[in-house]
Amino acid sequence: MRILALKAKGYVLPAIHASMVRAFQSCGVKVLDLPVPQHPLQYQTLKEISNGYDAIFTLDLGANPEFISNLKELQLSLRIPWIIWFVDDPDGYGFPEVCEPDWTLAFCWDEAITHREFSWRGRPLAYLPLATDPSVFWPERADCGLLYPGGVFVGSTAHPNGILSEVPRNTPGFREDVEAIWLDYRKDFRQPLHNLAWRNLAQKTKHDLYSIQGDQLCRLWVQALVYHVGMIKRREIVLNVIKPGGGVFGDEGWSSLLRENLYQGRIEYGDELRRVYSNSTFVLDVRQPQSRTGLSQRIFDAIVCRCPVLSEWSPEVEALFGPEDEIFGFRNLAEALEMRERCLQDPKDVQKKGEKARQKVLARHTYRHRAIQILKTLYSFI
């Protein structure tokens, strides 16, 4: 088996890509690692190189608009399977319209997204959760003891999106709608946020859901509302759960929100992050709004460093882990604070949960496990 792996740019994508290349190679696959082509001359080079390869692998369609716009033509020209693993919402990359169904094997890290109705005649979008790479993340305790006894959060204040950020400025009453949805949603994060937004819009416009869900402006309004409510959720949880002795890593937007020197700046994915996870009482995970139920790589990476995880509840937490035995799950801010106190006050329970979760991740949730699943699907396809 020979695979061309097209490496996307980004903050975490290159690291996941590198882990998948190693994973494929550990399964006996010969992999040629190339950057995602950026212009027509590179497209021609890709066509020439691809001869003799069985498939092409990429994350998030290469996260490159120019490449995405030429993808279908490339697929029809090369006529080999394209393995596309979405670790972000596929809707943001034009899926499925930009793909040629006869040559696409698409996977998605978020199970709820795979159940959406796509106008797609190719193979169904398959669920493939994120994972970790044990060659990058492992327990690495500092000699001086815990560096962050108050826990840590690693992530942005919000996923950058210029269009959705502008909606409140141009839409009268939008901020009030966001606040109303947040007051309802904050009671129980198990509520599907997108459903709350659609019901709110149906009541606001006095139209039934079916008649508005195909409207592009309505879809934009819902995406914007979910985006801004999700931003409030992440900030509220982080600001209340991470206290003195803890640390928050991410964009500079946190610096104006946090006090008591909690903001620690940006952090490189890999060795530096492994040391932080390994030397923290817990890692806090709060999903971004583009994630319906999907678990971030943060959960898997922290767990394999033997660091307990405080995670916003998701059906995927229950499906992949034992929410009571392996992860400290919460459904609202009050439960998040309760779980934090359990982490701080009961170190034996924390250690027990952490080790049990770690063994499960090593046994089921590494990138090698994901590569094996992809290869099984590929073999059945070809």
* pLDDT score of 100: 96
Residue 90 belongs to a domain: yes
pLDDT of residue 158: 86
The answer to the question of residue 141 being in a domain is: no
Q: Is residue 208 part of a domain?
A: yes
Cis peptide before 168 (omega within 30 of 0): no
| Positions in the chain whose pLDDT score sits under 70 | 323-324
Beta bridge mates, 283: 152, 309
Is 138 part of a structural domain of the chain?
no
Is residue 139 in a domain? Answer: no
pLDDT (0 to 100) of residue 184: 96
Claim to verify: residue 65 and residue 176 sit in the same structural domain: no
Name the domain count of the chain: 2
In order, the DSSP letters of 233-279 are HHHHHHHHH--TT-EEES-GGGGGT--TT-B-----TTHHHHHHHHT
**Is residue 285 in some structural domain?**
yes
Those residues whose C-beta lies under 8 Å from the C-beta of residue 73, and which sit 6 or more positions away, are none
Determine the structural domain holding residue 197 and report its residue range. Answer: 152-364
Q: What is the pLDDT of residue 324?
A: 67
Tell me the whole-structure pTM to 2 decimals: 0.94
CATH number at residue 209: 3.40.50.2000
Domain co-membership, 194 together with 330 = yes
Same domain? 109 vs 169: no
pLDDT at 120: 87
Same domain, 324 and 212: yes
pLDDT of the residue at 131: 98
Q: What pLDDT is attached to residue 66?
A: 86
Pair (158, 250) in one structural domain: yes
> Residue 145: inside a domain, yes or no?
no
Same-domain status, 182 and 92: no
User: Is the same domain home to 122 and 233?
Assistant: no
For residues 30 and 66, state if they share a domain: yes
Tell me, yes or no, whether 263 and 341 share the same domain.
Answer: yes
- Per-residue pLDDT tens digits for 10-60: 889 999 999 999 999 999 999 999 999 988 888 888 999 999 999 999 999
Question: Are residues 213 and 117 part of one domain?
Answer: no
Query: 346: which residues sit within 8 A by CB, 6+ positions away?
Result: none
Are both 375 and 354 inside the same structural domain? no
Count the Cβ atoms, other than its own, within 10 Å of residue 76: 11
Residue 143 CA from chain centroid, whole number: 32
Residues 107 and 169 in one domain: no
Is the residue at 40 inside a domain?
yes
The CATH number that applies at residue 28 is: 3.40.50.2300
C-alpha span between 88 and 224 (Å, rounded): 16
